[in-house]
Amino acid sequence: MGEITSAMYLLRGRETVNPSTAEGGRRMDVRKDRPYTIRLTEDEALVLSDWLDRVMHRKDFSQLVDDRAVWAPLYAISGALETTLPHIFASNYGELLDASRGRLLEKLGESGQEDG
């Protein structure tokens, strides 16, 4: 099973491939039946799940997704998060989400902020 790690290296079978050098002439095949694992912290999973739930059904987001095939992995990720995160049913969900967002923002520092 392959994984996408925070260092952005793809593990394909026994071979580790850096995506920035993957075009180096080697033949690479996509195996449609091979599952991939994306590792997220609980904070990342909770914040991403909330965001996907809020934006996936908006018309402006639908217009942003210019390739219909992208919806398949979006639904898969959203569904996996929804079915594995017990936090989304907690009575203090809002507090948990705010705490997760705060920790992630602290970890990000200035990264991702718009200029000016």
Token pair, residue 80, equals 């996996």
Are 14 and 66 in a shared domain?
no
Are 22 and 46 in a shared domain?
no
**pLDDT tens-digit map of 50-72:** 999 999 988 888 888 889 899 99
Are 68 and 58 in a shared domain?
yes
Provide the β-strand partners of residue 10. 4, 17
Per the CB < 8 A criterion, the answer to whether 47 and 100 are in contact is: yes
| Largest Cα span, the chain | 53
pLDDT of residue 102: 97
Per the listing, tokens 């195996």 go with: 31
**Domain around 74:** 40-116
Count how many domains the chain has: 2
Residue 94 predicted with pLDDT over 90: yes
Are 53 and 95 in a shared domain?
yes
DSSP structural state of residue 38: E
pTM, two decimal places: 0.67
Are 16 and 60 in a shared domain?
no
Residue 100 predicted with pLDDT over 70: yes
- In the structure, what pLDDT confidence band is assigned to residue 24 with cuts at 50, 70 and 90? low
Looking at per-residue pLDDT, the higher value among 113 and 87 belongs to: 87
Are 69 and 114 in a shared domain?
yes
DSSP structural state of residue 4: E
Sheet holding 15-17, edge to edge: 15-17, 10-12, 2-4, 36-38
